Amino acid sequence: MQFIDERLIILLDFTREFFNKPLIINNWHLKGSYNESCFRMPDTAVGGKLSQHKFGRAADIKIPGLTSRQIYDEILNHEKIFMAAGLTTLENIDATPTWVHIDIRYQGEAEKIIIVNP
């Protein structure tokens, strides 16, 4: 886990267990189209210059059988337990309707999950 923050691994594992379904993050190795949905090299053209993906603190997830809106809403409906698992930030689902961006950018106590626009 040289490039991925261990806290993100914990959050992703929690999310998989919560939904009781596999998460799709990157699937290029299966001839899929997702290849930078988690760690991104600093020199990639994908995402912003200071994207949390480039620090190993973010992932864009998809869950088979659920829409991104369903995932997003379920996370917000269970906000406190996702925060306890490490989630600090979601991207506005209206801006990213085909995936759910989760990240762990902040440390410390927060009252709510922060919603950001990409």
Tens digits of residue pLDDT in 42-71: 676 666 766 777 777 888 899 999 999 999
Chain position carrying tokens 């603190």: 57
3-class state of residue 64 by DSSP: coil
Tens digits of residue pLDDT in 70-83: 999 999 999 999 99
* Measured distance between the N- and C-terminal CA atoms of the chain, rounded to whole angstroms: 26
Q: pTM for the whole thing?
A: 0.84
All structural domains of the chain with their residue ranges: 6-116
CATH of domain 6-116: 3.30.1380.10
Residue 60: both structure tokens together: 């864009």
How crowded is residue 77: how many other Cβ atoms within 10 Å of its Cβ?
9
